[in-house]
Structure 1
């Protein structure tokens, strides 16, 4: 799933159902806007590795949402 291709209602649905932490929600929003990992790292004052780990967590939460929607 390419986050930058999501519509605003799809974005809001994911944000409301994925139980993101505040930090994950912030990173998710940057991803939706098309920011690179490095740009997110700079904007959030987090290391690049931390941003990458948070993105992995975000992807897992989205994957779980998709699975539960299909059940």
Structure 2
């Protein structure tokens, strides 16, 4: 990912590889709150620990609602 500020003419957004695969893992905490973590299919342990995003219950929406 580029470290050049977005105001710069040299900045380009991150473009993932077309063949990138992602996995989603939904877990339920002890307090009954569900979380969904999405990450690229890990190719290394370091990648598994550093490249992910998580949302909590209440943030999930049906995909058809976003189209």
Global fold match (TM > 0.5): no
TM-score scaled by length of structure 2: 0.24
- In proportion to residue count, which structure has more strand? 2
When the two structures are superposed, what TM-score results if normalisation uses the length of structure 1?
0.23
The structure that is helix-richer by fraction is 1
Over alpha carbons, which structure has the higher Rg? 2
